[in-house]
């Protein structure tokens, strides 16, 4: 115990002193095998084998890369405004960023996860969490656009999220911070015993993917750090790592690392689902936003929901157990068979692996080691499958290759360690440059991983790239894992700080991702589907322009009768029906971004002219040889003017 505590202090000071991580070892750069370049080379015009969806961390976005090339294809705005796509700037998408706190165009997004059917990736959607103002977003993989965002009530620091169950029955969101539920004004010192940790099970409609908070389990006031679903034999269960089981209100080391072991919470969600389907649970008044993007109107609506179903774990006997797990476990990872649950104890010397079979036996034998707030604690020895002995310093996350091997990242010793499930022996280790967080094997969080590559995502790069002022890019590193030994192939920069990523074979998504919206199906209330539909309508100080765009003109392109003090809505429809022919539009002095409008779609921006004059607008996307001719003028007259609207 004393020794472990000493180790803890050592680990912590190492963790705090980034500079003591592996320092720039320039020899490693030339140590690449000569065929590394060949292995990542995707010839011009050729396609990559895998998609990788890498979280943008504090940029609130999700970046789409190809593997093995590491080429960046798209940055999908999720919890962010993006002037490139007008996301969060145009009137159609602003409601997507609505919350119970108002319009919040930013978040900290950590963990993308691809939807699954029967435990395998199905390539329909990617889910990702917003940590800060707790939200879960869903991205449609036919359009690569965010189509739904749901806020999570009673939650704070939505970190153990957004992982999906085997058939995407649920996307699960767990609170990092326990808080008063419902929120109230109370002394912080009275945290212990009074705060709650909400674990939310958000159902996903199998047809349209529509999300709804089915129930929230109100757990003791620990920090719920990460989670992963059971699969195969453990289908129906969900596992969450916890830290601060001391329930300290200040996490200075002395407070938070007292307990030799924290817990992995094992939740039998099937049992709780049965309980709530029979009318169990308590409806609690609350307030949270549910934002849905409609493909037909090309616009989003935001609805406030006033109630959530909460469940007290003590009301569902046999649904919740605690598995003691040494020293502040971070990642909670389940192997493809569903048997092994890895608790990555950040401050632990060994890596702990629990056995689902042993857990079930211990539960059946009722062999408990006391309880916490009435929830049975299983005996460590009774659930332990094995330990990887001293594999490295500061384990964070583990992924699996589907061939019986696991790969764990070590933040402090800056490396990926490959080890064998069942024998727990270390097979290989490779340095990362530097301070790796998550890692990703395509399908690595499913029953069927594609164990060809692992991507390590690093927090610090120091000397690895051309310097760019005080901040250097964060980065990912690609390793070939087809042999016994991992082989470093490639470094590539990431958007923001990367946390988790999700990868899948390109073929799963490619065939359905060249979507074109049919103009005939456009149900936007202000769509103009031909030049005959175009008009300009005044309603007091509000003016609505219904405009079209097609190579290479706007219609109308000369508008008069607008006055200072008007609020002018440009509703612009792209009449094109060819793949990949967007047009843009921008207006001088408009307090918004340009619009980039896809074929068949209508988008809207607002312009409030402040000065009289004749003001130009133009197409922002180089669309044809006559792109530069795609322009128009709006004449703005004094507020007192009686010039009629004309176009
Ligand atoms: Cu380890 Cu937010 Cu998944 Cu980052 S967390 S690394
Ligand atoms: S930290 S290992 Cu950047 Cu929040 Cu996650
Ligand atoms: Cu339309 Cu450029």
CATH 3.20.20.140 fits 2-41+50-512, yes or no: no
Distance 51 CA to ligand 3 centre (A): 30
Distance 600 CA to ligand 3 centre (A): 15
> For the segment 270-314, what is each residue's pLDDT rounded down to a tens digit?
999 999 999 999 999 999 999 999 989 999 999 999 999 999 999
- The number of residues in the chain equals 647
**Quick check: 14 pLDDT over 90?**
no
Distance 597 CA to ligand 3 centre (A): 10
- Measuring from each residue's beta carbon to the nearest atom of ligand 2, which residues come in under 6 Å? 396, 437, 497, 499
- Measuring from each residue's beta carbon to the nearest atom of ligand 3, which residues come in under 6 Å? 583, 619, 621-623, 627, 630
Residues 519-637, CATH architecture: Sandwich (2.60)
Ligand 3: atom nearest CA of 549 is: 1
pLDDT on residue 20: 38
> For the segment 233-257, what is each residue's pLDDT rounded down to a tens digit?
999 999 999 999 999 988 876 565 6
How many other β-carbons are positioned within 10 Å of the β-carbon of residue 337?
16
> For the segment 309-328, what is each residue's pLDDT rounded down to a tens digit?
999 999 999 999 999 999 99
Residue 381: DSSP 8-state? H
Q: Is 425 helix (H, G, I), strand (E, B) or coil?
A: coil
What is the Cα–Cα distance from 146 to 501, expressed in whole angstroms?
A: 16
Centroid of chain to Cα 403: 27
Cis peptide upstream of residue 68 (ω within 30 degrees of 0): yes
Look at residues 155, 159, 158, 139 and name the one whose alpha carbon lies nearest to residue 147: 139
Look at residues 608, 616, 604 and name the one whose alpha carbon lies nearest to residue 567: 608
For 506, residues 6+ apart whose C-beta sits below 8 A from its C-beta are: 47, 48, 49, 50, 51, 66
**Quick check: 585 pLDDT over 90?**
yes
ipTM rounded to 2 decimals: 0.68
Beta strands in 411-557 (DSSP E): 415-420, 426-431, 436-440, 453-458, 475-480, 487-493, 501-505, 535-539, 542-550, 553-555
Ligand lying closest to the C-alpha of residue 624:
3
How many other β-carbons are positioned within 10 Å of the β-carbon of residue 3?
8
pLDDT on residue 254: 53
Residue 624 CB-density burial (10 A; 0-12 exposed, 13-18 middle, 19+ buried): middle
**Quick check: 11 pLDDT over 60?**
no
DSSP β-bridge partners for residue 63: 54, 75
Confidence of residue 7 (pLDDT cuts 50, 70, 90): very low
Distance 604 CA to ligand 2 centre (A): 38
What pTM was computed for the model?
Answer: 0.93
pLDDT on residue 253: 62
Look at residues 538, 600, 598, 525 and name the one whose alpha carbon lies nearest to residue 567: 538
Residue 379: DSSP 8-state? P
Q: How far is CA 507 from CA 42, 49, 65, 145, 512, in A?
A: 16, 8, 14, 19, 9
Domain boundaries, the chain: 2-41+50-512, 519-637
């Amino acid at each position: 115990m004393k020794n472990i505590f000493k180790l803890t202090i050592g680990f912590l000071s190492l963790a705090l002193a980034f500079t003591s991580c592996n320092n720039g070892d320039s020899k490693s750069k030339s140590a690449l095998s000569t065929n590394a370049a060949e292995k990542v080379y995707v010839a011009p015009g050729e396609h990559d084998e895998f998609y990788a969806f890498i979280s943008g961390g504090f940029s609130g976005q999700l970046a789409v890369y190809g593997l093995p090339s590491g080429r960046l294809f798209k940055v999908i705005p999720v919890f962010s405004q993006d002037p490139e796509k007008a996301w969060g700037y145009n009137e159609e998408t602003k409601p997507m960023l609505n919350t119970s706190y108002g319009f919040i165009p930013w978040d900290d997004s950590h963990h993308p996860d691809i939807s699954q059917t029967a435990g395998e990736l199905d390539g329909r959607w990617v889910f990702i969490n917003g940590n800060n103002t707790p939200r879960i977003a869903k991205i449609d993989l036919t359009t690569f656009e965010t189509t739904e965002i749901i806020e999570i009530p009673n939650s704070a620091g939505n970190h153990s999220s957004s992982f999906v169950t085997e058939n995407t029955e649920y996307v699960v969101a767990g609170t990092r911070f326990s808080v008063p539920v419902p929120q109230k004004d109370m002394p912080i010192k009275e945290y212990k015993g009074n705060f709650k940790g909400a674990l939310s099970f958000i159902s996903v409609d199998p047809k349209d993917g529509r999300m709804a908070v089915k129930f929230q389990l109100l757990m003791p006031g620990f920090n719920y750090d990460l989670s992963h679903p059971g699969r195969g034999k453990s289908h129906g269960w969900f596992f969450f790592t916890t830290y601060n089981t001391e329930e300290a209100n200040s996490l200075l080391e002395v407070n938070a690392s007292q307990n030799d072991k924290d817990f992995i919470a094992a939740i039998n969600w099937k049992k709780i689902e049965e309980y709530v389907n029979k009318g169990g649970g308590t409806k609690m008044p609350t307030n949270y936003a549910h934002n849905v993007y409609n493909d037909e109107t090309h616009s989003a609506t935001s609805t406030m929901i006033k109630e959530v179903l909460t469940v007290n774990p003590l009301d569902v006997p046999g649904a919740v157990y605690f598995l003691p797990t040494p020293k502040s476990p971070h990642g909670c990872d389940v192997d493809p068979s569903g048997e092994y649950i890895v608790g990555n104890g950040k401050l632990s010397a060994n890596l702990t692996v629990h056995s689902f079979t042993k857990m079930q036996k211990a539960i059946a034998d009722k062999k408990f080691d006391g309880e916490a707030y009435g929830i049975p604690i299983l005996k460590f020895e009774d659930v332990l499958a094995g330990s990887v002995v001293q594999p490295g310093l500061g384990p964070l996350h583990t992924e699996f290759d589907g061939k019986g091997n696991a790969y764990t990242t070590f933040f402090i010793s800056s490396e990926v360690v490959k080890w064998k499930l069942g024998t727990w022996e270390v097979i290989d280790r490779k340095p990362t440059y530097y301070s790796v967080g998550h890692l990703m094997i395509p399908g690595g969080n499913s029953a069927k991983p594609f164990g060809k590559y692992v991507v390590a995502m690093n927090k610090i790069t120091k000397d690895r790239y051309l310097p760019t002022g005080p901040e250097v890019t964060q980065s990912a590193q690609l390793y070939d894992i087809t042999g016994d030994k991992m082989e470093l192939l490639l470094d590539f920069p990431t958007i923001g700080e990367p946390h988790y990523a999700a990868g899948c074979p390109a073929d799963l998504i490619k065939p359905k991702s060249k979507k074109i919206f049919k103009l005939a199906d456009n149900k936007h209330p202000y769509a103009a589907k031909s030049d005959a539909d175009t008009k300009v309508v005044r309603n007091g100080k509000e003016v609505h322009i219904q405009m079209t765009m097609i190579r290479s003109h706007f219609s109308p392109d000369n508008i008069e009768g607008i006055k200072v003090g008007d609020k002018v809505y440009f509703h612009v429809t792209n009449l094109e029906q060819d793949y990949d022919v967007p047009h843009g539009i921008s207006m001088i002095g408009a307090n918004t971004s340009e619009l980039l409008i896809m074929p068949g779609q209508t988008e809207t921006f607002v312009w409030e002219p402040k000065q009289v004059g004749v003001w130009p607008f133009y197409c922002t996307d180089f669309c044809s040889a006559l792109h530069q001719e795609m322009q128009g003028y709006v004449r703005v007259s004094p507020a007192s003017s009686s010039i009629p609207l004309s176009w």
